[in-house]
Structure formats: structure tokens, C-alpha cells
Amino acid sequence: MPPVTLEKRNGIALLIIDNPPVNALGHAVRAGLAESIRAAEADGTVEAIVIASAGKTFIAGADIKEFNAPPQPPSLPELLAAIDACKKPFVAAIDGAALGGGLEVALTCDFRLATPASTLGLPEVKLGLIPGAGGTQRLPRLIDPAAALSMMAEGNPKTAEAAARLGIVDEIIPAENLLDVAVTFARQRAAEGAKRRLSERTPASAERAAVEEAATKILKKRAGEPQVEAIVRCVRAAFEESFKDATRLERELFLQLKENERSKALRYAFFAEREAARKPQVAEGAAPRPVKQVAIIGGGTMGSGIAIAFLDAGIATTVIETDEAGASRAAERISGNYQSAVDRGRISAEQKEDRLSLLKTEVGLDKVGQADLVVEAAFEDMAVKREIFSTLDRIAKPRAVLATNTSYLDVNEIAAATARPEDVLGMHFFSPANIMQLVEVVRASATSDETLLTAIATAKMLQKTPVVVGVGHGFVGNRMLARRSEQVDRLLLEGASPSEIDAALTEFGFKMGPCAMGDLAGLDISWRMRKATGRRAPAADALCEAGRLGQKTGRGYYLYPDASRKGVPDPEAETIIQAAAEREGIARRTISRQEILQRLIYPMINEGARILEEGIAERPADIDVIWLHGYAWPRWRGGPMYYADQMGLATIAAELERLSTDQKDESLAPAGLLASLAREGKGFHS
């Protein structure tokens, strides 16, 4: 099937794009469109042209996969110039997503019809790019220029209705009538001799001040993002330059950004998320079981957050506690969360009631009833979990999926407490569970394919990003985080301050550094874990022993004067850490920011290599997605394993060798996979 077909309906040329899965404007589509436009223009019986598409997407934009290769003509701007030059009117018949270059095609048409479910947007900014085929010039000429600037800087799509209100869509047409209406509409426009070239307009000069006001806010909020600065430059050029000169500037900036490392990492992240979400290796015909009602065991911070995620998805949820007080606290916590969302205007009071109407809080495991999925979010203790699963085994309905939210523990051991290990797996949510995207879906050795697929489908139903991982202490994310935490403590003992450590990572792109994060979460959580597993972190242990547990005690790594949320350096903490260093016989010195950064990140990458060797994660992209969605790794750096390839594995291996020798810690020596790839001059992704 050719990617573009041309049919004629009583003098109207109908161009249909059919390039599954999302009608991306790859080279074959661009060439097919150019050919069809030429034919339609040359055909004297054709009065007007309609561009439509097959499938559930209008046009998803340029083919992002082509960006790393030299462009093949015709480029999208060349194609759109042909549409613009054509004397016959063009009508875009949009059904589905019209994104990026897809919306640019529609904007170059003279008229735009869309079905109610369509979405229209210019998301290039999320790929570190800008619209590169006239979008920065046509949109501000079509709608309010300040609204156009904000729409391009945010990159979020508009619904068809919102797009019609803005003036992007001329009419909203029911899907079943779209093509017929579009053909009739085109014929009428042809009869009127109507051409509406946006390239011949100029933005409303009266709106310039509003554009500058919006630009100032956007540049402040998005400081450091070159693609946002470029969009502002292009919208300003719409007022100051001819369409031709401004589109030349746009193209120049687009091509520069396309080669920018930030954009390459953002494009990698886009595909990595889709790769990680691919269906895992399962038996032919295996399918997820329906999940209509769930039970959450434990209504604490995690349990309530998980319950909110299900309630937000409209799924009936029972939260089960051990006593009435616990059940009431869970109900209050969940209701309070929704009330603050109402107060902030994020949801309406009615939506709050709708969601709470799906919630029941009960006492006793026997209340799991007919839940299709049970998520255990009880105390992080193996005996407690085994007891719960043994009971669930007896009372949960047959083939109910029994998931544990454990962050670290052995899911095989938990499953062994039941007579149905095939129904058991891990669903490791990240706090706050109703906000964080990531769910590590832990496939235990006996987990059935249906159970696995059910958990994956459920995570997607919650609008979350599931990544399948294997059983191992801390699975993927927390296991790598532990290596970073060890270095945090070691760096503190060796002389780095909490501020220097945090600054190394915030400068790298994290929103918050590990010391501030520890103070926020409470230093006692990991302290308790260390004591339970016989591990030590002399600096953090000393702070905890001094009652410095973080924000909750007004002091931890930092001091929080007057219970403020912003910590300040505290000489008392430094004194405690120095004393701990002396007890450990560790000499202190000034440590450079680069060494701090390398020591925080390279051991994590090394652990990621071991995780791949052990098969706990299937692909490097899975590890990157876990860190993007579970730990807020800066998206424009792609993820730890992507970053490793950029740094070069040989460089990382050499630094790890040095660290291992300095710290007399064999576990810091390069993992086998990392060392062998480094020797071969390869990367994790090559």
C-alpha cells in the first residue's frame, strides 16, 4: 500500500496518508504528498484538495527516527511551500492527533476541519526542538500571538474544541461524516475562490506587548532550554521580519537544535519509553485479566497514594487497615489529598466526590472481597508480608493478582507464602504514588504471563510507566541509588559538605540533591534499613544518633530555622561528620565538583551494568526510563546508561578502577559487562 493515495471526487482531489502506525512524515510520505500535490495542481478538473489520513492519527509529525540521518528531499518546508504556492484551496480533514509537522501541514492548508476527538499541538519543544516547517510563523499569524507562543513553549496538545476556540480549527465535524463534509466544504471554498495563506498575513502588532510579557515569563521559567529561547526568537521575528526571512531563521535554529546533545537525549528518551513499555516475552495468546476493583492492604503514605492513583483512574478501591483508627486515618489522608487538589483548582468538588464515592476503607484482610487485584503496601518486613500473603492466598478470589509494593524484598520468598505463586508479583510504586509515573513490575520466578500482563495493563490504566524488572535486592532503581548513597556518605567523611554534594547534582540537572532529599524524606528511614541489614553509613548514622533526622526534627544534613523548608548549612552537622571521619581514620580534603559528580554517578552506572548482566533489567533503555520516571533524572540527559555512553565507558572504567583502589572496595571495580564494552570501544546502547 503506497503511503499516499490520490482519489478524485467530483473535482475534489482527496489525498489520503496511510503510513502506520502514526502517519509520521517520513521521506516516502513527503515524496508521495509532493507527487500527489503536483498531480492535483496540474489536473484542470481538480478545483480543490483535501488532505486526510487513515488510522487513528492524522499525522504524528516528522519522523523522529530520521533526525539522526541526513535529510532526504523533499524536506517538509519544501513540501509546505508547494501547498502554499498552489492556487487551489487546501482543506485539512483532521481525525486524530495533528502534531508537530502534522499541524504544520494543516496550518499550511487554507482551512482545517477536525473531529471532536482530535488533538492539535506543536510538541517539538519536548524533543529539544522547535517547529521547523513554518509553525512558529503560521500559528502566531492565525491565533493570538501570545497564546501561540505559550502553546509552542509548553508543547501540550489542544483538544479539537479548544483549538476551535483559539481559531486553529474552522469546524468540528463528526468522524463518520468527515471526508464527505470536507469534500463538500472544499468545493464551496473553491467556488468562492477562497485561499487563506497565513504566509501573506502579519501578526496583530497590537499584540506585541502581550507577546513580550509572555516571553519574559516563559524565558524565566524555562531558563537554560535553548529550544524555548529559539521559539521566542522566532515569534519575535514574526513581527519584525518577512515571512520568508523569519522562516529561514526558524529553519536555521531548528537544524542547529537537531544537532544539540540535549535534543538527541530527549529524542532518545522518547523512544526509550516506548521500548521499555513493549510487551515482554510472553506465551502466544497470553492476555491480561480485567481489573474492575482493587484492594490495597495498608493505608499509610504509600497505600493511600496507590489508592488515589486507582481512584483517579475511576477504579473501585478498598483500603484495608488493621484497625478502625488506621482505616479512619487512611480515609482522612485520601480525602485531604483531594480537598487540597480542589483548593488548588486542580479538580472540582464534584470530581472529588466522584472519586471518593469509589473508595471504601475497611478493617481486616477478609474485606478483600472480589478484588481482581490486591496491592500490599504494608510494613517493609518479610515476616509481615509473608503473613499477609498467606492469608490473602486463602481469602482472595481465585486468579486475583496479588501484588506486593515492596521496595527491596525478595518477591519469590513472598510468593512462596502462597499456594498460588503464579498470581504473585511485585508492583513497586514510587512515592508519592499518585504522582510518580514509574511502576517497577517485578516478575518473580513463578509469575504467570497473564499475571504479568495484568500488572502492566493496570499500570498503563493508571497513566503510569511500567518497567518489567527481575527479583533482586532493590530491583533496579533502589539498587543503583544505594551505590550513590554509599558515595554520599564517603564524600562527607572525606571532606565534601552537604551543599557541595547537592550542588554537584543540581548543577547536573536534578531538581534536588541527595542530602536535601534525605532531610525531606527523613534520615531515619534509611537508618532503620541499615540497622536491619547490618550496613553502616558513619556520617548519616552519627547525624541520626544526634537526633538529626531531617526536616521533621528541624535539622539533619542542614538546619531548618523556624521550620522552614529550605535548609541552610549547619556547622554543628559539619562537626558531627568530622568527628565521624576521625573515628573512621579518614583524612579530609577539598574535593572538586567534578570528582563529586563522577563518584555519585559512575558507581550507579556500574551497578546498572551488573543489573543487565544478571538480567534484572532487560535493556539499558529500561534502566534509563526507571531513572527518568522514578528518580527525576534530568530528561535532557537521557538517563544514566545513555549518559554513560556519552561519557565513554573507557573513561568510566578508569575512574572506577581508581575509586576501587582508593576506597579498597572491590565492588567499585568495573563490572564485567562495562569493562568488556569499554575494551571493545562500545557503549551500552551500541
- Rounded CA separation 537/581 (Å): 11
Q: Quick count: other Cβ atoms within 10 Å of Cβ 117?
A: 13
Q: How many residues bind ligand T1G (CB under 6 A)?
A: 26
Residues 133-172 that bind ligand T1G (CB under 6 A): 133, 135
- Cβ nearer to ligand T1G, comparing 23 with 485: 23
Q: Which of 47, 124, 376, 607 is catalytic?
A: 124
- Tell me, residue by residue from 84 to 123, as one string, x for binding to ligand T1G by CB under 6 A and - for no binding: -------------x-xxx--x------------------x
Beta-ladder partners of 157: none
Query: What's the min distance (Å) between Cβ of 106 and ligand T1G?
Result: 12
Closest Cα to residue 555, out of 542, 534, 569? 569
Return the amino acid letter for 562: D
Q: Which long-range contacts (CB under 8 A, 24 or more apart) does 671-674 make?
A: 671/606, 671/607, 671/609, 671/610, 671/613, 672/609, 672/613, 673/609, 673/610, 673/612, 673/613, 674/605, 674/606, 674/609, 674/644, 674/649
Based on the residue annotation, tell me whether 124 is a catalytic residue of this protein: yes
Q: Which of 104, 440, 486, 500 is catalytic?
A: 104
Q: Which residue has the cell 496550518?
A: 107
Q: Candidates 60-68, 345-353, 423-431, 483-491 — which segment interacts with ligand T1G by CB under 6 A?
A: 60-68
Here the cell at position 125 is 519543544
Q: Candidates 6-14, 130-138, 166-174, 497-505 — which segment interacts with ligand T1G by CB under 6 A?
A: 130-138
Q: Candidates 37-45, 131-139, 594-602, 639-647 — which segment interacts with ligand T1G by CB under 6 A?
A: 131-139
Q: Are 137 and 238 in contact (CB under 8 A)?
A: yes
Query: What's the min distance (Å) between Cβ of 241 and ligand T1G?
Result: 19
Q: Are 607 and 479 in contact (CB under 8 A)?
A: yes
Member of 61, 514, 603, 608 binding ligand T1G (CB under 6 A): 61
- Rounded CA separation 254/428 (Å): 40
- Cβ nearer to ligand T1G, comparing 25 with 580: 25
Query: What's the min distance (Å) between Cβ of 30 and ligand T1G?
Result: 10
Query: What's the min distance (Å) between Cβ of 121 and ligand T1G?
Result: 8
- Rounded CA separation 249/230 (Å): 9
Based on the residue annotation, tell me whether 680 is a catalytic residue of this protein: no
Query: What's the min distance (Å) between Cβ of 101 and ligand T1G?
Result: 3
- Cβ nearer to ligand T1G, comparing 168 with 311: 168
Q: Are 76 and 104 in contact (CB under 8 A)?
A: yes
Please report whether residue 253 would count as binding ligand T1G according to CB under 6 A. no
Query: Going by C-beta distance under 8 Å and a sequence separation of 6 or more, which residues neighbour residue 385?
Result: 376, 378, 404, 406, 409, 414, 417
End-to-end CA distance of the chain: 33
Please report whether residue 466 would count as binding ligand T1G according to CB under 6 A. no
Residue nearest to ligand T1G (CB): 100
- Rounded CA separation 460/465 (Å): 6
Query: Going by C-beta distance under 8 Å and a sequence separation of 6 or more, which residues neighbour residue 616?
Result: 469, 470, 471, 472, 475, 476, 479
Q: Candidates 20-28, 39-47, 177-185, 424-432 — which segment interacts with ligand T1G by CB under 6 A?
A: 20-28
Query: What's the min distance (Å) between Cβ of 19 and ligand T1G?
Result: 10
Residues 255-284 that bind ligand T1G (CB under 6 A): 271, 274
Member of 15, 19, 37, 63 binding ligand T1G (CB under 6 A): 63
Active centre residues (catalytic): 104, 124
> Which residues contribute to the site for ligand T1G (CB under 6 A)?
21-22, 24, 57, 60-65, 76, 97, 99-101, 104, 123-124, 127, 129, 131-133, 135, 271, 274
